[in-house]
Structure 1
């Protein structure tokens, strides 16, 4: 049975340029360190002009010095007015990457209202503000890709991770709703779900050998990931290589969510 014309590959597609981002402008939130920094460097390596946005301007500038197509911009995403100003000042943005996140590791009964607000405000409210501010311009122009980092905790949880997990699950649903609403206007919206990554956020875990080793053993690959190992997924979702991908959560977790438990029984 023949396929309808809309599903056919365009004649003369240049697959060698499928991941190229030449002529596109990207904003990476949280580009001062960790996954955000590596995302910015990877996008620039594939031809994008990248704005490295971070609350810590010095950290953003340090990232920007690593490449010719990188610039720094101070942005506190907890300030809704600042987010709206940024979307106006930065002009045309084709790709938005949100890597900002925080966590307070406590059991639910030990959580204070301030702890709750701290995690929810950055992980969920700020993500909503960014999506709304930058997604509006993308929708008006009829194109764009929005990428935010969820987590394996969007689908799995452990003691002390309840509020963080709730924000990441909520973020995924927020992004799915945005994908449904903005898709007809040419904007794609997706999440990347890392496993355990060696970043400043996870430094307290890695400082405890038993804890660090238990997390490493949980994945199929038996180790923690490096921040740069998330960069390929960012480039993929930003580029035409993923032109028919929206509303999805891409797990880059070393097989963490494929495995049941941390104990390998004898065979």
Structure 2
């Protein structure tokens, strides 16, 4: 008989956090609060250490490592040092807000290199180890932009749509080994990545009123989705994208007509 009190219990499990700032920091704190040991990885070692320290300050178990997911060889080496993993959470991403005609090839390569190739590197490296063990959960962060776009978001949107395709494929290919792969798609979140929007009051309000809840989300509001997908509560969930967007993709435009 299922013990429902332990559905979200992560004690005895090790989680790798790839991208330890912003949403990643809150995800790490939430995973640790449920008992997981969290390895905080970021290409900025100070960010990784700050999140690990925050987890330790709450009584959790955490370590920090400098890691760049665009370096496939370095990723493989670090994973060998980290050891067995039960959960991997990928939040690392970047965006260059420009219309397509203004984009340079170098900017395209930077965004695609981190968001899409980095995802590919993580799925291969982490997936191979989890498949060999016969268990594990990989959670990659997508975006509402995988489905809804706007001027200046084309390349970012393309990488997130590609990420979701890679997630579905990995779920199919890793599933027989007992490894689950899913994505989380946030709406507008108050993080450094959205600083340009937050700085413009009109833009900020327009985004706040687009969703059904009428406001932006905080990074902490994404953490529950991560814990759910990491835990036994989602044991039959794979190949899915969980939208945590405040109803953004459910709303048809910004105009509310009279009833």
TM-score, structure 1 as length reference: 0.94
Residue 199 (structure 2) pairs with residue 196 (structure 1): no
Question: In the alignment, what sits opposite 1:102?
Answer: 94
Q: Distance in 2 between matches of 1:82 and 1:262?
A: 45
Q: How does 1:229-240 map to 2 (within 5 A)?
A: 229-240=221-232
**C-alpha displacement at 1:86, in angstroms?**
1.5
What is the DSSP-based 3-state SS (H/G/I as helix, E as strand, rest coil) of the residue aligned with 2:212? coil
1:265: Cα distance to partner?
Answer: 2.2
Q: Using the alignment, how far apart are the partners of 2:54 and 2:158 within structure 1? A: 35
Tell me whether 1:171 sits opposite 2:163 in the alignment: yes
CA distance in 2, matches of 1:63, 1:162: 31
Aligned mates of 1:230, 1:63 — CA distance in 2: 16
The match for 2:141 is: 149
State the 1:66 CA deviation.
Answer: 1.4
Verify: 1:14 aligned to 2:7, yes or no: no
Structure 1: distance between partners of 2:225 and 2:123: 19
Instruction: Map 1:83-102 to 2 at 5 A.
Output: 83-102=75-94
Q: Does 1:254 pair with 2:242?
A: no
Tell which deviates more after alignment, 246-255 or 107-116.
107-116
1:35 is aligned, of 23, 28, 33, to: 23
- So what's the TM-score if we normalise by structure 2? 0.97
**Distance (Å, rounded) in 2 between the aligned partners of 1:59 and 1:112:** 29
Q: Distance in 2 between matches of 1:155 and 1:73?
A: 33
Shift of 1:176: 0.2
What is the RMSD computed on CA atoms of the aligned residues?
0.7
94, 100, 114: which one pairs with 2:106?
Answer: 114
Higher Cα Rg: structure 1 or 2?
A: 1
Separation in structure 2 between the aligned mates of residue 245 and residue 178 of structure 1, nearest angstrom = 13
1:223 is the counterpart of 2:215? yes
Q: What is the alpha-carbon distance in structure 2 between the residues aligned to residue 224 and residue 252 of structure 1? A: 11
Per-residue deviation at 1:60? 1.0
CA offset at residue 202 of structure 1? Answer: 0.3
State how far apart, in whole Å, the 1-side matches of 2:55 and 2:227 are. Answer: 16
Report the equivalent of 1:7. Answer: none
| Number of residue pairs matched by the alignment | 255
Separation of aligned partners in 2, 1:221 and 1:165: 23
- Point out where structure 1 has 5 or more consecutive residues left out of the alignment: 1-10
Is this contact kept in 1: 2:94–2:111, CA < 8 A? yes
CA distance in 2, matches of 1:187, 1:67: 26
Q: Is the 8 A contact 2:139 2:181 kept in 1?
A: yes
Structure 2: tracts of 5 or more residues without a match: none
